[in-house]
Amino acid sequence: MTTVHTLSSGSSGNALVLSTENTHILLDAGISCRRIEQGLRQLGLELRDLSALLISHTHSDHISGLGTLVKRCRAPIYSSIETARGLQYRIAGVEDLLCPFSQGVPFHVGECRVTPFSTCHDAPGSTAYRIDTEEGGFGFLTDSGCIPDGAREVLPGVELLLLEANHDVDTLRSGSYPYYLKRRILGDEGHLSNEAAASFAAEAAGWGASEIVLAHLSEENNTPAMARSAVERSLAAAGFSPRLTVAPRSALSECHVVGAGCRR
* DSSP calls for 140-154: EE-S-SS--HHHHHH
Residues 211-230, mean pLDDT to the nearest whole number = 98
CA 139 – CA 155 distance, rounded (Å): 6
**Each residue of 62-79: pLDDT tens digit?**
999 999 999 999 999 999
Which residues span the domain enclosing 193? 3-263
- Give tens-digit pLDDT for 153-181: 999 999 999 999 999 999 999 999 999 99
Where residue 239 falls (left for φ over 0; alpha for ψ -120 to 50; beta otherwise) is left
Strands 136-141 and 127-133, sheet pairing = antiparallel
Q: What is the pLDDT of residues 78-129, one digit of tens each?
A: 999 999 999 999 999 899 999 999 999 999 999 999 999 999 999 999 999 9
Characterize the bridge pairing of strands 243-246 and 211-215: parallel
- What is the three-class DSSP state of 229? helix
Which pTM value belongs to this model? 0.96
CA dist 162 and 214 (Å) reads: 6
Residue 263, pLDDT above cutoff 60: no
Query: What percentage of the chain carries pLDDT values higher than 90?
Result: 97
Domain count, the chain: 1
CATH no. for residue 58?
3.60.15.10
| Mean pLDDT of all residues belonging to the chain | 96
Q: List the one residue out of 134, 133, 148 whose CA is nearest residue 56.
A: 148
Measuring CA to CA, which residue among 76, 164, 60, 58 is closest to residue 114?
76
